[in-house]
Structure 1
Amino acid sequence: MSKLIPISLLAFGLFTVTFAVNLQAPLYDVYAAESDVGATAVTVAFAAYVGGLMPTLLLVGGLSDRIGRRVPIALALIFGVVATALLVQVPSWTSLVIARFLLGIGTGLATTAGTAYMTEILGAERARSAALIVTSATSLGFGGGALATGISLGVQGPSLLPASYIALFVAAPVLAVLVLALPRVDTPKPVSVLRLPVFPAGVWVFGAAMALAWSTTGMTIAVVPLELAANDLGGWTGLVIFLAIFVGFLCQPIARRMTNERALALGFVLIPLGSLVLLAGVWLKVLAFVLIGTCITSAASYGFTYLAALAEVSLHAPDDRARATAGLFVYAYFGFSLPVIGSGALADRLGLLSAMIVFASVQIVVTAIIVMLRQRRPVPSSAAVKAGWQCNR
């Protein structure tokens, strides 16, 4: 079988898994209204995704080392279908919490197995190319789901069964079967099913950068739509969420030409800059600023920082990529969830704008601290790590 077929099917499978994750985002306010809940409840439901994902990363991030890469990815596709079907059958805040939890489990299974699988298909010497394909597929998926629902609602009108949901119901089961039919290129390991993630030495700063960058993305997906809806701009939610991720995808080819360290440094500049522009847009009620700020944060979150971090972790743990990827996403999703929940609680007490001001202020301070620590303890160059690994083989 040509490598192009398994690469394409795997990439499309990862795209579909992540497509399901934000598919329901333009309907957050509808589900909240059905249950008469506030901003805190919406952000809790949003973060329930991490409630399912984190235990998966922490406990079974290396599951695919034992049972193979294909089964976890197929399961993730089915979880996406089940979660979305639940929202159709019982549209409420409670269903949203359960659905997001299931989607988190699926993402945890797919991203760890998928990254390792893609590297094994392409070969270890092309680990950076494998990381680019995975980040591209997942970035398009995370953003594409929200945009597809937004477009569907715009064409259909108000609906709890948009065409984007139907597309998932058709595509995901077919892909699950096709993924199971892919060739097995990994060597099974006689390891425990329950395996903790690995945190390679020397790459903590990449994990911290992921946490910072994805915290802004979490705000953009969970909190900004509430502010847009409050200003009668709810129809722009799908586009905002799509831009929050798609622009990062467009930046990945540029990031690929840079060293991981340079891409990381650029990410540290773009993270607070994007947050400030986004805040200005919400403060002044200028949609253009909201869109520009979203694009800037996307470049950091899913462009320079995401690709650099995934490639660096893969390089530092060539024999344990699945668990190392799980470790990286532990950093990322702590940032993706906890600040968002805190901001939601502040929003109910102080208002959405005040919550965003506090968030941006804390993020700028933490970014400055991490940059100073990085300058005192520089990250080993990728070339040096690779040379050292090769010498030890």
Structure 2
Amino acid sequence: MPNKISAALLGMCLFTVTFAVNLQAPLYDAYAAQNDMGAAAVTIAFAAYVAGLMPTLLFLGGLSNRIGRKPPIALALALGATATGILVIWPSWATLIIARAILGVGTGLATTAGTAYMTEILGGNRTKSSALAVTSVTSLGFGGGALATGISLGIQGPTLFPASFALLLAVAPCLALAIILLPKTHRDTNAPLLRMPLFPKGTGIFGISLALAWSVTGMTIAVVPLQLARNDLGSWSGLVIFLAIFTGFLCQPIAKRLKNNAALTVGLCLVPIGFVILLIGMRFDLLAAVLAGTCFTSAASYGFTYLAALAEISSRAPDDRARATAGLFIYAYAGFSVPVIVSGVLADILGLLPAMMLFAATMVAATLVVLTRLKRPALARCANFDQDRQMSR
């Protein structure tokens, strides 16, 4: 099979795995109402995804080095279909937690194996192109699932079995079988089955930046729809979640042209700007501001920061990209989940908007600290350059 076709098929598999992740997001409010749950319970169900994902990243990030790239991706597709099927048969807040945990395991398997596999298919000298391919399809998947469910609900009306669920259940098993057509890659049968993630030297700032950016995305996906529903704007939640990720996809070609440090800086600047605009929209019921703020945060999270971090990690760990990717996603998903859970608990105590304002203040302060740390080496290099010029005179 030609490399371009193989890359396209792998991209479809990664898209479908991530498509399943936020497929049920527009129904969070319905699941909560069905079981009379508050904001904290909804955010805990949302973050159960990370409870499944984190152990997978911690212990199975290098699994594909031992058993090959294809089995983990096929298993991830099967897990996505299983989780969706559980919600179809037993729709409730409790099964949402179970389904989200299963989806976390699938995402952990697919993203670590898929990133390494894409680089092997396209060639080790095309690290940034491979990273762009992976970030593009996964960004579309994460956002597309929520949008598909939002559209399905708009056409079908209120239901706990939208057409988007049926689509996933039909496509995922077919792709899990089709993956056998992809080319074989080298595997190390002597590699340990359980291996801890890898954190390449000098990449910590990229991981922390991605955690900050994805914390805003987590808030947008989990908490903002609850506030929209309270303002009788619940029908817009699918579009908001889609924009929270899709706009970043549109920015990735621009980010690819920048050096990784420059792209990271742009992303960090956009994170607080976007969330403050979104918060203003939530406070004054300005839907246009909510959508605009969501686009800004998406550009930061899934555009500049995501691509820069993944490309940097891949280039610094050419011999063990799967474990290095696992290490990066540990940062990312810690940011994605912890602030959401804390905000959910605070929302039940203080109210949704005060909790979001507190998060915004903390996030702005943390972003300023990271930006200062990121710029310090550049300033040091400039100072050394000026000193060398003076000495040469």
Per the normalisation by structure 1, the TM-score is 0.95
Is the Cα–Cα contact under 8 Å of residues 49 and 100 in structure 2 kept in the other structure?
A: yes
CA deviations on 1:17-55 (whole Å, 9 max, x unpaired) are: 000000000100111111111000000000000000000
1:190 Cα shift? Answer: 1.3
Cα distance in 2 between the residues matched to 1:124 and 1:5: 17
Give the deviation of 1:90 after TM superposition.
Answer: 0.8
Partner of 2:247: 247
- Distance in 2, Cα, partners of 1:5 & 1:375: 41
| Corresponding residue of 1:23 | 23
Determine the structure 2 residue equivalent to 1:179.
Answer: 179
Task: Answer yes or no: is 1:371 the counterpart of 2:382.
Answer: no
Task: Give the aligned partner of residue 387 of structure 2.
Answer: none
CA shift digits 1:289-308 (9 cap, x unpaired): 10000000000000000000
User: Structure 2 vs 1, CA of residues 380 and 151 (structure 1 numbering), >3 Å: closer, same or farther?
Assistant: farther
Whether the 8 Å contact between 2:59 and 2:194 is mirrored in structure 1 is yes
C-alpha distance in 1, partners of 2:253/2:376? 30
Equivalent residue runs for 1:277-316 within 5 Å? 277-316=277-316
Say whether 1:320 aligns with 2:320: yes
AA of the residue aligned to 2:295: C
Give percent identity, aligned residues only.
64
Q: Is 1:202–1:380's contact at 8 Å kept on the other side of the alignment?
A: no
2:169 aligned with 1:169, yes or no? Answer: yes
Deviations 1:118-162 (A, max 9, x none): 000011100110000000000000000000000001011111111
Q: CA deviation at 1:365?
A: 0.6
* 1:65-104 CA distance string (max 9 Å, x none): 0000000000000100110111111111100000000000
Alpha-carbon distance in 1 for matches of 2:30, 2:230: 13
Alignment of 1:1-393 (within 5 A): 1-377=1-377
Q: State which drifts further: 319-328 or 2-11.
A: 2-11
Unaligned runs of 5+ in 2: 382-393
Give the AA of the match of 1:236: W
User: Equivalents in 2 of 1:322, 1:102: separation in Å?
Assistant: 20
Distance in 1 separating the partners of 2:58 and 2:220: 26
Query: Within 2, Cα distance between the matches of 1:35 and 1:193?
Result: 40
Partners of 2:122 and 2:15 lie apart in 1 by 18
Q: Displacement of 1:379 after TM fit?
A: 11
Cα gap change, 1:379/1:79 in structure 2, threshold over 3 Å: closer, same or farther?
farther
TM-aligned CA deviation for residue 375 of structure 1: 2.7
How many Å apart are 1:226 and its aligned residue? 0.1
Please give the alpha-carbon distance, in whole angstroms, between the structure 2 residues aligned to 1:215 and 1:187: 35
**Separation in 2, partners of 1:187, 1:21:** 28
Correspondence for 2:389 = none
In 2, are the aligned partners of 1:51 and 1:101 still within 8 Å (CA)? yes
Which string of whole-angstrom CA distances, capped at 9 and with x for unpartnered residues, describes residues 252-310 of structure 1?
00101111111001011001111111111111110111000000000000000000000
Separation in structure 2 between the aligned mates of residue 20 and residue 89 of structure 1, nearest angstrom: 16
CA–CA distance in structure 1, aligned partners of residues 368 and 169 of structure 2: 45
User: How far has the Cα of 1:370 moved from its partner?
Assistant: 1.4
Tell me, in whole angstroms, the C-alpha distance in 2 between the residues paired with 1:380 and 1:145: 45
Structure 1 SS opposite 2:42: helix
Structure 1 pair 75/265, CA: closer, same or farther in 2 (3 Å)? same
Distance 1:377 1:263 in 2: 16
Let me know the Cα RMSD of the aligned residues: 1.3
Distance in 1, matches of 2:154 and 2:309, equals 36
Return the offset for 1:189.
Answer: 4.5
